[in-house]
Amino acid sequence: MPPKRRTQGDLDSPWKEALDLFLAPFLDLFYPAIHAGIDWRRGYQSLDKELQQVDARIGRRLADKLFKVWRKSGEEAWLLIHIEVQGRKELAFAERMFVYSYRIYDRYHKPVMSLAILCDENPDWKPDSFGYDLWGSSVSFRFLVVKLLDLRSDEAALERNPNVFAPIVLAQLKAIETRRSPTARG
Protein backbone atom coordinates (compact mmCIF):
# COMPACT_ATOMS: atom_id res chain seq x y z
CA MET A 1 0.00 0.00 0.00
CA PRO A 2 1.46 3.45 -0.92
CA PRO A 3 2.12 5.89 1.93
CA LYS A 4 -0.73 8.20 2.85
CA ARG A 5 -0.45 11.56 1.12
CA ARG A 6 0.02 14.37 3.64
CA THR A 7 -2.33 17.31 3.59
CA GLN A 8 -1.24 20.96 3.73
CA GLY A 9 -2.04 21.09 7.45
CA ASP A 10 0.12 18.01 8.06
CA LEU A 11 3.09 19.67 6.33
CA ASP A 12 2.71 22.88 8.31
CA SER A 13 2.19 21.20 11.70
CA PRO A 14 5.85 20.44 12.55
CA TRP A 15 6.76 24.06 11.81
CA LYS A 16 3.92 25.40 13.95
CA GLU A 17 4.76 23.11 16.87
CA ALA A 18 8.43 24.07 16.68
CA LEU A 19 7.54 27.77 16.60
CA ASP A 20 5.56 27.47 19.83
CA LEU A 21 8.59 26.02 21.62
CA PHE A 22 11.49 27.70 19.83
CA LEU A 23 10.53 31.19 18.65
CA ALA A 24 13.90 32.70 19.65
CA PRO A 25 16.03 30.20 17.67
CA PHE A 26 13.64 30.54 14.71
CA LEU A 27 14.09 34.29 14.59
CA ASP A 28 17.83 33.97 15.24
CA LEU A 29 18.26 31.71 12.20
CA PHE A 30 15.89 33.39 9.75
CA TYR A 31 15.52 37.00 10.95
CA PRO A 32 18.56 37.84 13.11
CA ALA A 33 17.93 41.60 13.13
CA ILE A 34 14.45 41.06 14.59
CA HIS A 35 15.83 38.54 17.09
CA ALA A 36 18.41 41.11 18.21
CA GLY A 37 15.70 43.72 18.83
CA ILE A 38 13.60 41.55 21.19
CA ASP A 39 13.95 41.52 24.98
CA TRP A 40 14.00 37.73 25.43
CA ARG A 41 14.15 38.07 29.23
CA ARG A 42 10.46 39.01 29.10
CA GLY A 43 9.59 35.90 27.13
CA TYR A 44 6.92 35.77 24.46
CA GLN A 45 3.26 34.85 24.26
CA SER A 46 1.45 32.86 21.59
CA LEU A 47 -1.70 34.67 20.48
CA ASP A 48 -3.53 31.70 18.96
CA LYS A 49 -6.91 32.77 20.37
CA GLU A 50 -6.49 36.27 18.97
CA LEU A 51 -5.51 34.88 15.57
CA GLN A 52 -8.54 32.57 15.52
CA GLN A 53 -10.77 35.62 16.06
CA VAL A 54 -9.54 37.15 12.81
CA ASP A 55 -11.26 35.82 9.71
CA ALA A 56 -8.43 36.23 7.22
CA ARG A 57 -9.38 33.56 4.75
CA ILE A 58 -8.16 34.18 1.24
CA GLY A 59 -8.03 30.96 -0.66
CA ARG A 60 -7.74 27.83 1.42
CA ARG A 61 -6.07 28.57 4.77
CA LEU A 62 -5.55 30.78 7.75
CA ALA A 63 -2.32 32.37 8.91
CA ASP A 64 0.00 30.23 10.99
CA LYS A 65 1.23 31.86 14.19
CA LEU A 66 0.86 35.16 15.98
CA PHE A 67 3.16 36.06 18.88
CA LYS A 68 3.46 38.95 21.29
CA VAL A 69 7.04 39.94 22.14
CA TRP A 70 8.64 42.95 23.78
CA ARG A 71 11.22 45.08 22.06
CA LYS A 72 14.37 46.03 23.93
CA SER A 73 13.00 49.56 24.09
CA GLY A 74 10.07 48.22 26.15
CA GLU A 75 7.26 48.39 23.56
CA GLU A 76 5.05 45.43 22.86
CA ALA A 77 5.22 44.05 19.30
CA TRP A 78 3.16 41.46 17.46
CA LEU A 79 4.77 39.04 14.99
CA LEU A 80 2.70 37.24 12.36
CA ILE A 81 4.69 34.27 11.11
CA HIS A 82 3.47 32.43 8.06
CA ILE A 83 5.04 29.18 6.88
CA GLU A 84 4.03 28.31 3.33
CA VAL A 85 4.77 24.62 2.72
CA GLN A 86 3.63 23.75 -0.76
CA GLY A 87 5.05 22.63 -4.07
CA ARG A 88 3.98 25.54 -6.24
CA LYS A 89 3.49 29.27 -6.18
CA GLU A 90 0.19 30.69 -5.02
CA LEU A 91 -0.99 33.81 -6.79
CA ALA A 92 -3.00 35.13 -3.83
CA PHE A 93 -0.23 34.67 -1.23
CA ALA A 94 0.87 38.33 -1.01
CA GLU A 95 -2.74 39.48 -0.86
CA ARG A 96 -3.39 36.97 1.93
CA MET A 97 -0.43 38.33 3.92
CA PHE A 98 -1.88 41.84 3.52
CA VAL A 99 -5.34 40.70 4.62
CA TYR A 100 -3.97 38.98 7.75
CA SER A 101 -2.06 42.10 8.70
CA TYR A 102 -4.86 44.63 8.21
CA ARG A 103 -7.51 42.42 9.85
CA ILE A 104 -5.34 41.93 12.94
CA TYR A 105 -4.74 45.68 13.02
CA ASP A 106 -8.44 46.40 12.51
CA ARG A 107 -9.54 44.10 15.32
CA TYR A 108 -6.78 44.77 17.88
CA HIS A 109 -5.26 48.11 16.78
CA LYS A 110 -1.78 46.59 16.96
CA PRO A 111 0.78 46.99 14.20
CA VAL A 112 1.97 43.60 13.00
CA MET A 113 5.42 42.53 11.77
CA SER A 114 4.65 40.06 8.97
CA LEU A 115 7.20 37.33 8.24
CA ALA A 116 7.00 34.49 5.71
CA ILE A 117 9.02 31.32 5.16
CA LEU A 118 8.54 29.83 1.69
CA CYS A 119 9.25 26.10 1.43
CA ASP A 120 8.25 25.53 -2.19
CA GLU A 121 10.54 24.43 -5.01
CA ASN A 122 10.12 27.37 -7.40
CA PRO A 123 13.29 29.53 -7.20
CA ASP A 124 11.61 32.37 -9.12
CA TRP A 125 8.64 32.77 -6.74
CA LYS A 126 9.42 35.10 -3.84
CA PRO A 127 6.50 37.43 -3.16
CA ASP A 128 7.24 40.17 -0.64
CA SER A 129 4.60 42.84 -1.27
CA PHE A 130 1.03 43.58 -2.15
CA GLY A 131 -0.48 46.80 -3.34
CA TYR A 132 -2.70 48.62 -5.71
CA ASP A 133 -3.15 52.11 -7.11
CA LEU A 134 -6.39 53.60 -8.38
CA TRP A 135 -6.47 57.21 -9.62
CA GLY A 136 -3.76 58.27 -7.21
CA SER A 137 -5.11 56.45 -4.16
CA SER A 138 -2.80 53.61 -3.29
CA VAL A 139 -2.06 50.88 -0.79
CA SER A 140 1.38 49.38 -0.39
CA PHE A 141 2.26 46.50 1.94
CA ARG A 142 5.67 44.82 2.32
CA PHE A 143 6.58 41.78 4.37
CA LEU A 144 9.82 39.93 5.05
CA VAL A 145 10.45 36.62 3.28
CA VAL A 146 12.97 33.82 3.62
CA LYS A 147 13.04 31.30 0.80
CA LEU A 148 14.43 27.94 1.94
CA LEU A 149 15.80 27.22 -1.52
CA ASP A 150 18.11 30.22 -1.03
CA LEU A 151 19.74 28.34 1.87
CA ARG A 152 20.76 25.35 -0.28
CA SER A 153 24.09 26.93 -1.15
CA ASP A 154 25.11 26.83 2.52
CA GLU A 155 23.92 23.37 3.56
CA ALA A 156 27.31 22.58 5.13
CA ALA A 157 26.91 25.54 7.48
CA LEU A 158 23.38 24.40 8.34
CA GLU A 159 24.72 20.93 9.18
CA ARG A 160 27.15 22.51 11.68
CA ASN A 161 24.62 24.99 13.06
CA PRO A 162 23.37 24.06 16.58
CA ASN A 163 20.11 25.99 16.04
CA VAL A 164 17.12 23.65 16.48
CA PHE A 165 15.67 24.88 13.19
CA ALA A 166 18.74 23.93 11.13
CA PRO A 167 17.74 20.22 10.90
CA ILE A 168 14.17 21.23 10.04
CA VAL A 169 15.48 23.33 7.16
CA LEU A 170 17.77 20.52 6.00
CA ALA A 171 14.88 18.02 6.10
CA GLN A 172 12.66 20.40 4.15
CA LEU A 173 15.40 20.95 1.54
CA LYS A 174 15.84 17.16 1.23
CA ALA A 175 12.08 16.76 0.78
CA ILE A 176 12.11 19.36 -2.00
CA GLU A 177 15.11 17.72 -3.66
CA THR A 178 13.53 14.24 -3.58
CA ARG A 179 9.91 15.22 -4.12
CA ARG A 180 9.63 13.21 -7.31
CA SER A 181 11.47 10.18 -5.88
CA PRO A 182 10.66 9.75 -2.17
CA THR A 183 12.62 6.47 -2.06
CA ALA A 184 15.82 8.54 -2.47
CA ARG A 185 15.29 10.05 0.98
CA GLY A 186 17.73 8.58 3.44
At 18 the pLDDT is 86
With a cut of 70, say whether residue 185 has pLDDT above it.
no
52-83: pLDDT as tens digits: 787 655 544 545 789 999 999 999 999 988 87
Please determine, for residue 2, whether its predicted confidence score (pLDDT) is greater than 50. no
**53/161: higher pLDDT:** 161
4: confidence class by pLDDT, cuts 50, 70, 90: very low
Cα–Cα distance, 173 to 32 (Å, whole number): 21
pLDDT in tens, 9-30: 455 567 788 888 999 999 999 9
